[in-house]
Amino acid sequence: MVKLKTTAMALMLGLAVSTSGVASERKSLPAPEGHPLSEILSGYEFRTDETKRVQDDDFENPAFLLLDRGAELWNTVDGAAGKSCASCHGDAAVSMKGVGASMPKWNKQRNMPITVERQINICREEQMQAKPWKWLKDQNMLGMTIFVKNQSRGMPMMPDMAPEMEAVRKKGEEIYYTRYGQLDLSCANCHEDYYGNYIRADMLSQGQINGFPTYRFKWSAVGSVHRRFKGCLDNIRANPFKPQGEEFTALEAYMSYRGQGLPLETPSVRN
């Protein structure tokens, strides 16, 4: 019934839904017991050969300009404390290895889940006594996030299994399956029911987040996963949640669970 309703809505809106014939060529991971999907696929597997080529070439990948910026910022002293990131964390290749693959992570001191971006601003404000960066489009925040997560590139996504994170993921799951907006659609309607099919000229993926921050050709820019969440809600004419707020953080935690085992691709390239 849900699928019929979604298809009918798509047809009413003129969103052409068609099936791709290349599914057998995609590389997937078997989903663990209890997972909502039978297989786990990176968004990379749904992109064109040209898009894959751009991602795979570190010299062509536009997001590497921001990665270089993040590397420079890592060693840049900022704030009243006279510190840089390296002052506390040293060589990022050592201290940040595995960090991006396991966040959001439960922070006992704050009694809340922490994303990479939020941890960056915690360090800036409390350790460096520097001004926090803005969440969505701040080039410094994007650059540092890419730099930190890139230290885990190729490592499997490992969702934090702290007991407190179970409730966070449950909240994210509820958001994932809830219909929102004037189009009355949920995340699952596109990314679970119809992945591998075309809507307009774009092929739907499973919506996995193992490549964020990502360079999107549609944006002609790099964007964070919370920017992508906001864009999806905008597309279905719903009021988006706040970036780095409770709802988007919970959704990110749940999406990390859905993508468990996928190698981190940051920074990826998408359509």
Q: How far apart are CA 263 and CA 154, in angstroms?
A: 5
Catalytic hit among 85, 123, 190, 232: 232
Residues 6+ apart with CB under 8 A from 106: 112, 113, 114, 160, 162, 164, 165, 168
Sign of the dihedral defined by the CA atoms of residues 197, 175, 269, 149, in that order: negative
- Residue 113 φ/ψ, nearest 5 degrees: -80, 145
One-letter amino acid at 49 equals D
For 120-141, letters b (16+ CB in 10 Å) and e give bbebbeeebebeebebeeebbb
Q: How far apart are CA 225 and CA 230, in angstroms?
A: 9
**Angle of helix 225-235 relative to helix 246-258, nearest 10 degrees?**
100
The answer to whether the peptide bond before residue 36 is cis (omega within 30 degrees of 0) is no
The answer to whether the peptide bond before residue 213 is cis (omega within 30 degrees of 0) is yes
Annotated active-site residue 232? The verdict is yes
**What is residue 7's three-state secondary structure?**
helix
Sign of the dihedral defined by the CA atoms of residues 207, 211, 213, 219, in that order: negative
Instruction: Please choose, from the candidates 86, 103, 106, the residue with its C-alpha nearest in 3D space to the C-alpha of residue 94.
Output: 86
The catalytic residues are 232
